[in-house]
Amino acid sequence: MFIDSHCHLDRLDLSPYNNDFSQMLQAAHDRKVEKMLCVSIDLANFDAMYTLIEKYEQVYASVGVHPLSASEEAVGISDLIERAEREKIIAIGETGLDYFYQKDTQEPQQESFKNHLLAAGQLRLPTIIHTREAQQDTISLIKAHGNLDSAGVMHCFTESLEMAKASLDLNYMISFSGIITFKNAADLREVVKAVPLDRILIETDSPYLAPVPHRGKKNEPKYVVEVAQCVADLKGISVEAVAEASSENFYTLFNKAAQ
């Protein structure tokens, strides 16, 4: 069984499935992708996202505001906690810091990130973190405000091996996406080799970042199998071993999810 640990199902193009959400889920199931985590990126669309996935047993959800939206949307701890009370919410995020696109919004991003970490700590839920060109501040804020027992995941990881090691030391897992299949991702593939299998998650981040050989297409959960295969090839193990380990890691981290 494969688990897509990070996707945005409310943003998928369902036209290949006659605009039928359940057909998309069946296509994933046909490739043994049996569970997925639909990740929130803003509060304005949270209710619609949750309504979309609520009735499907194989889909979990999170609540959070992406750092690139943090300067537009003040995120209070109570805003997150209130929404996290819903049954299928198993994580807080995605949150974090992105200085690549918005260097001039560092302060509101940091405040939002801090509030996510504090809310996650109060709820004892893991935090889903997006970080780009903000390694030092990301680690510093986790150390200052995070709950290292519930911890979290560095999603769609593209940073250095040093950043990966610092995250592992904080009890965080590392999630890899289709980027690891790209030709220009040689350094990142070295990180995959170095991260222990029992600390790895796999994801699509769909509808973005479709893996090779689907690059250029809209991504979707069924393509997480290609991510798993790349991890398997890099580690010299079977794809089934990656599926088993990453699924076990998912339930270890997101322990509110029912196996």
pLDDT, one tens digit per residue, over 63-82 is: 999 999 987 767 899 999 99
Predicted local distance difference test score (pLDDT) of residue 37: 98
Predicted local distance difference test score (pLDDT) of residue 218: 96
Q: How confident is the model at residue 259 (pLDDT cuts 50, 70, 90)?
A: low
What is the average pLDDT score of the chain? 96
At 67, which amino acid appears?
A: P
Measure the N-to-C terminal CA separation of the chain; round to a whole number of Å: 11
Residue with tokens 């986790």: 142
pLDDT, one tens digit per residue, over 137-169 is: 999 999 999 999 999 999 999 999 999 999 999
Q: How many CA atoms does the CB half-sphere of 226 hold within 13 Å? A: 19
What distance in Å separates the CA atoms of residue 249 and residue 3, rounded to the nearest whole number?
A: 10
pLDDT, one tens digit per residue, over 192-206 is: 999 999 999 999 999
For each of the domains in the chain, give its residue range(s) and CATH number, in order of start: 2-253 (3.20.20.140)
Check whether 23 has a pLDDT greater than 90.
yes
